[in-house]
């Protein structure tokens, strides 16, 4: 047996495994096998088991034993006294060894022709973003340049896939060994991957988050249908692969908390439990995330401090970004506390070197070291069912392990070696010997013996002292030592063991140069003194400095910010609760037969309107004095585009399969702003980019609720249609190759869509099992069966009449014509058809087809008996819809009560929810607004806004919130300034833009193109 101290890997005998190989050898074969015994080590077998003074025995790349077993005679013994051995780490969200295609075309060039069909040759899916047939194992190649940085972090195994597309195919598990590809691959198909990002695909569809959701849903249905008809529907290699991959772990990449919840909903619909790769802000909605029961892969890409020294730069930084900078490191700890299984990944890090500092921040923020090790070893192994190969140190598993000089998570611990498949990779083995300490340095030459005190602070920093410190240069690789220092012109040196003497050095700045070998507690070698004469020297350790403690060191401070709902400066620590409230002596605008009632009381109880009357007296309830104030129903916006990540899926003429409800954004500050203007309910509509757009979502403005909590439960379903310039893309003067290009074409798109829907429904009713379920046609069949209702973007009278003709031809009704600026011209025909109308008070002239718009439109249509609504189509306008309604009094002489109904009861009727909201009536939802003045006055301010009997806006609390938000913002800025002064990495200050959307505006297509993009 040969016994070695832990030395650099290059000094060790590297031995190949005896397994047979199919590769020819150019030279003489070397079939020797390797057996190593690592003795006297602290061995962490797994996160729950640590052995002291134990032995790890490996042979032919695998673990033979862990503990105190006998060492074979042929073993190379490596003494690991004072060293720790851990399992190598596992990263299951990597693209190591696989290139990612780059999108060639400019995603923002909307004048370029659209690509409707796949350009992929072969029997593959119609959409290039669905790439289930891609197998990472076919693309994989070892890459030493990329493997080394990962090994230096401690990783020995990765799950790699091609990060491109919505369905990305399968991933391959490989080690980070430098062996050939066939020797490093542990599992060819280990997991299937998905995302909401279409990646390099040049196809127009999808162009939105909700489009990506719809595409995934449709592909699940298509794959199920294809599976039931083998060989009967042609060959589709993508669907074949999709079905084959369903037995594997399913990993879904997301960018934030809402995307994670969204992906889980897709999985739930089809009985799939995704492993969700998070975005890092999941702690903000951990309750909802825990309820999904989804395991997670968490990145450690915590945000850097922003440069906030310049007030003009910092004033626009959002509170949520400041608070996230402080709270992001708590994310893993929050998962641990909630008991959610999670793995950690180095993915998303701009600089891999930040992995360990960030992980230590997470530990300081509450993550236990045990949970951290689990998340990097046994948990990812369990996710992929490869625990029989890696993740622990057990007999039979691969010899993938780390050797460190201390606790892996301690800041001053050094990772010395990373052994992968039984082969060593030098990380910092040259630094394995602890050099720090005080040494007695003796230099012997022709001038006699001179003695100094040498203080070594690190492998590159030391100080030589005589009477005073001398200028010193020092370096060591752990084996060889180099030292030089300059003497003062006159230096008194006290000899040891000889007669005291004084040496004169007359050469100012002359160097004593020494080099030698590190023998542990003593070093020795030769050199030259300040006069160039040869000397010998020895340094003996007199006082060592303790190695790294078994704890994490960092300057990170615990956060002061709280998680609020939404994660906004106006968020709350808890949602407002329903309460029993008596509003006394207000002017009550009932919108019922009783009309406007002076000095009237309203009792709210259990989320409903309980009593209306004068002189009500209820003991033990909260009383709000309404004297001189006005109480109205909550305002209802029939046409809104707030609280979403994307508005238009404009890639095709018919996209009835997409759903606004799939991409709600509950953090949108416009929810709160509109509550301050008395809005309690909004219909969130798809945009007007296509003839038949997406399905609408009716919401209540429950500020702080999640996406599901915003939805108006039990309401009828709606969908957005559009006519005119937006649909035929009048403003796209070049490259518009999407049908239709004329108003005649729009008519034919509608005709064709409903004929297809009618044929599809007939086939379904016939019991034909070969019919493929089509989400696009499902929505249209719902319209035919009066289960889904149309809101149609419209301007020109001829097109309004054209859609009425189509509707009556196919036996359905257009529920609402919105915008409808030429409605006054055909109001009699609209009334005959039975549609409601929703218009602007005085917007016109902003494009050609609205030149005939007039501010008398609403009043004229009302006079002809139509149910008229005033809508916003704009986040800012919705804050003052009461004033927009008041304009109808000026333009047309509408009564005050009828004007108010245009933003309350009338839209409630148009949306089929007037049995719940829109008026103040016993039994209805307590969606109310208490105004400071006449509700149609420009001076009126909403003092309280109730939704379901809970106060979601309180003007007095709003004032307090502003003061608190300013103070908290200043605290965060000061903390960020302090961090930057202490050397924390920084990025330029970045303002968070608030995107205000309307149906003709560009939209924020979050996550689809991989950047914050805007799409017509």
What Cα–Cα distance (Å) separates residue 635 from each residue in 515, 632, 730, 880, 952? 84, 8, 34, 10, 14
Residues 385/388/391/397 CA torsion (nearest 10 deg): -160
Stretch 205-211: mean pLDDT: 95
Q: Are strands 581-589 and 630-633 parallel, antiparallel or unpaired?
A: parallel
Structure tokens at 183: 């020797």
Res 501 pLDDT > 70: no
- Contacts of residue 728, Cβ cutoff 8 Å, sequence gap at least 6: 740, 741, 742, 743, 745, 746
Supply the pLDDT for residue 720: 98
Mean pLDDT score, 633-661: 96
Distance CA 92, CA 171 (A): 9
pLDDT value for 1005: 37
Distance CA 281, CA 298 (A): 10
CA distance 304 to 240: 44
**Residue 230: its pLDDT value, please?**
76
DSSP 236: -
Q: How confident is the model at residue 278 (pLDDT cuts 50, 70, 90)?
A: very high
- Residue 491's pLDDT is what? 42
Tens of pLDDT along 248-265?
999 999 999 999 999 999
Average pLDDT over residues 404-431: 90
Whole-number percent of the chain with pLDDT over 70: 88
pLDDT at residue 498, as a whole number: 42
The structure tokens listed for 895 are: 């009564």
Cβ neighbours around 811 below 10 Å, total? 12
The owner of tokens 């590809």 is 181
pLDDT digits (tens, 9 = 90+) for 78-135: 999 999 999 999 999 999 999 888 765 555 455 678 888 898 899 999 999 999 999 9
Rounded CA separation 487/500 (Å):
19
Tokens representing residue 982 in the block: 């202490």
Q: 617-643 pLDDT, tens per residue? A: 999 999 999 999 999 999 999 999 999
Of the pLDDT bands very low, low, confident and very high (cuts 50, 70, 90), residue 541 is confident
What whole-number distance in Å separates Cα of residue 173 and Cα of residue 137? Answer: 9
Segment among 8-17, 50-59, 395-404, 440-449 with least mean pLDDT = 8-17
For the chain, what is the radius of gyration of the CA atoms? 36
CA 168/CA 533 separation, integer angstroms: 69
**DSSP bridge pairs for 476:** 481
Q: What is the mean pLDDT of the chain?
A: 89
Among 489-498, 724-733, 776-785, 846-855, the least confident range: 489-498
pLDDT at 21 over 70: no
pLDDT score of 1010:
30
Q: What is the predicted pLDDT for the residue at 519? A: 66
Q: Which of 71-75, 276-280, 465-469, 684-688 has the lowest mean pLDDT?
A: 465-469
Given this model, what pLDDT does residue 447 score?
A: 82
CA distance 747 to 684: 25
Residues 6+ apart with CB under 8 A from 691: 653, 654, 721, 722, 723, 727, 740, 746, 749, 750, 753
Half-sphere exposure of 391 (CA within 13 A, CB side): 24
The residue whose two tokens read 């050397």 is 983
Q: 52 with 68: CB under 8 angstroms?
A: no
Compute the Cα dihedral for 262, 266, 268, 269 and give only its sign. Answer: positive
Paired residues of 1015 in beta bridges: 1003
Residues 6+ apart with CB under 8 A from 954: 943, 944
Report CA-CA distances (Å) from 781 to 85, 225, 572, 606, 659.
64, 20, 42, 38, 16
Per-residue model confidence (pLDDT) at position 476: 79
Query: Among 451-455, 488-492, 693-697, 972-976, where is mean pLDDT lowest?
Result: 488-492
Across 997-1010, b (16+ Cβ under 10 Å) vs e yields bbbbbbbbbbbbbb
């Amino acid at each position: 047996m040969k016994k070695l101290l832990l030395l650099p890997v290059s000094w060790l005998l590297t031995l190949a495994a005896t397994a047979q190989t199919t590769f020819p050898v150019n030279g003489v074969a070397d079939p020797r096998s390797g057996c190593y015994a690592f003795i006297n080590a602290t061995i962490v077998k797994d996160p729950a088991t640590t052995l002291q003074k134990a032995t790890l025995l490996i042979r032919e790349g695998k673990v033979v034993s862990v503990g105190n077993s006998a060492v074979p005679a042929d073993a190379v013994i490596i003494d690991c006294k004072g060293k720790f051995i851990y399992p190598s780490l596992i990263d299951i969200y990597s693209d190591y060894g696989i290139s990612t295609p780059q999108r060639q075309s400019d995603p923002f060039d909307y004048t370029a022709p659209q690509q409707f069909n796949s350009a992929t040759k072969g029997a593959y899916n119609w959409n290039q973003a669905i790439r289930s047939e891609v197998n990472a194992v076919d693309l994989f190649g070892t890459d030493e340049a990329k493997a080394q940085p990962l090994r230096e972090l401690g990783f020995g195994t990765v799950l790699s896939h091609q990060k491109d597309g919505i369905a990305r195919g399968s991933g391959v598990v490989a080690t980070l060994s430098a062996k050939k590809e066939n020797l490093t691959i542990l599992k060819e198909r280990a997991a299937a991957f998905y995302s909401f990002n279409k990646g390099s695909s040049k196809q127009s569809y999808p162009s939105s988050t909700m489009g990506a959701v719809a595409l995934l849903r449709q592909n699940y249905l298509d794959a199920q249908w294809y599976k039931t008809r083998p060989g009967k529907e042609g060959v589709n290699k993508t669907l074949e692969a999709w079905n084959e991959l369903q037995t594997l772990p399913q990993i879904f990449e997301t960018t934030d908390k809402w995307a994670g919840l969204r992906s889980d909903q897709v999985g739930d619909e089809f009985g799939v439990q995704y492993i969700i790769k998070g975005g890092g802000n999941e702690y903000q909605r951990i309750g909802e995330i825990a309820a999904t029961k989804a395991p997670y892969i968490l990145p450690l890409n915590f945000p850097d401090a922003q440069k906030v020294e310049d007030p003009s730069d910092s004033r626009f930084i959002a509170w949520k970004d400041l608070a996230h900078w402080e709270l992001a490191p708590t994310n893993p700890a929050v998962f641990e506390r909630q008991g959610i299984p999670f793995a950690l990944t180095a993915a998303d890090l701009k600089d891999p070197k930040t992995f360990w500092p960030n992980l230590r921040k997470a530990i300081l923020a509450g993550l236990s070291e045990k949970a951290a090790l689990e998340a990097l070893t046994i948990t990812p192994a369990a996710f992929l069912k490869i625990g029989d190969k890696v993740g622990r140190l057990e007999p039979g598993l691969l010899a993938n392990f780390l050797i460190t000089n201390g606790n892996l998570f301690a800041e001053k611990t050094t990772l010395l070696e990373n052994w992968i498949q039984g082969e060593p990779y030098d990380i910092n083995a040259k630094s394995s010997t602890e050099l720090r300490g005080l040494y007695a340095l003796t230099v012997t030459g022709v001038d006699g013996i001179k003695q100094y005190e040498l203080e070594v602070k690190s492998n590159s920093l030391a100080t030589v002292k005589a009477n005073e410190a001398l200028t010193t240069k020092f370096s060591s690789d752990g084996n060889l030592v180099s030292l030089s220092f300059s003497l003062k012109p006159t230096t008194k040196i006290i000899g040891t063991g000889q007669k005291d003497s004084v040496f004169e050095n007359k050469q100012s700045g002359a160097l004593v140069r020494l080099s030698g070998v590190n023998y542990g507690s003593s070093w020795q070698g030769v050199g030259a003194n300040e006069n160039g004469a040869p000397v010998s020297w020895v340094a003996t350790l007199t006082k060592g400095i303790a190695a790294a403690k078994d704890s994490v060191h960092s300057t990170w401070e615990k956060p002061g910010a709280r998680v609020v709902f939404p994660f906004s400066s106006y968020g709350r620590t808890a949602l407002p609760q329903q309460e029993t409230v008596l509003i006394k002596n207000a002017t009550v605008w009932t919108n019922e037969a009783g009309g406007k009632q002076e000095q009237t009381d309203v009792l709210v109880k259990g989320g409903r309107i309980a009593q209306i009357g004068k002189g009500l007296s209820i003991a033990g309830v909260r009383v709000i004095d309404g004297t001189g104030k006005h109480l109205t129903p909550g305002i209802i916006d029939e046409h809104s585009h707030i609280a979403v990540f994307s508005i238009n899926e404009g890639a095709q003429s018919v996209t009835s399969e997409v759903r606004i409800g799939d991409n709600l954004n509950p953090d949108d500050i416009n929810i709160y702003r509109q509550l301050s203007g008395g809005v309690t309910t909004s219909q969130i509509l798809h945009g007007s980019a296509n003839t038949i757009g997406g399905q609408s979502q009716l919401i209540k403005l429950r500020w702080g609720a999640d996406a599901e909590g915003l939805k108006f439960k039990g309401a009828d379903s709606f969908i957005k249609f559009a006519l005119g310039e937006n649909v035929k893309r009048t403003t796209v003067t070049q490259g518009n190759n999407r049908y239709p290009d004329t108003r005649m074409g729009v008519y034919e798109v509608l005709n064709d869509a409903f004929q297809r829907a009618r044929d599809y429904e007939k086939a379904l009713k016939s019991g034909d099992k070969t019919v493929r379920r089509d989400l696009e046609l499902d929505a249209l069949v719902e319209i035919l069966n009066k289960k889904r209702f149309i809101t149609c973007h419209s301007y020109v009278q001829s097109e309004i009449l054209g859609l009425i003709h189509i509707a009556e031809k196919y036996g359905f009704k257009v529920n609402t014509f919105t915008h409808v600026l030429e409605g006054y011209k055909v109001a009699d025909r609209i009334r005959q058809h039975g549609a409601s109308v929703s218009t602007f008070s005085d917007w016109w002239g902003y494009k050609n087809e609205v030149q005939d718009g007039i501010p008398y439109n609403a009043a004229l249509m009302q006079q002809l008996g139509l149910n008229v609504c005033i809508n916003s189509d704009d986040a800012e306008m919705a804050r003052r819809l009461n004033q927009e309604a008041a304009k109808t009094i000026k333009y047309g002489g509408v009564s005050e009560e009828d004007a108010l109904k245009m933003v309350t009861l009338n839209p409630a009727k148009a949306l089929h929810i007037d049995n719940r909201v829109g008026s103040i009536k016993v039994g209805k939802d307590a969606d109310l607004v208490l105004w400071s003045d006449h509700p149609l006055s420009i001076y009126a301010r909403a003092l309280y806004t109730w939704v379901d009997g809970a106060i979601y806006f309180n003007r007095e609390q709003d004032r307090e919130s502003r003061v608190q938000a300013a103070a908290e913002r200043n605290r965060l800025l000061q903390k960020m300034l302090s961090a930057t002064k202490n050397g924390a990495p920084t990025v330029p200050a970045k303002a968070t833009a608030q995107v205000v959307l309307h149906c003709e505006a560009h939209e924020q297509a979050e996550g689809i193109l991989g950047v914050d993009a805007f799409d017509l």
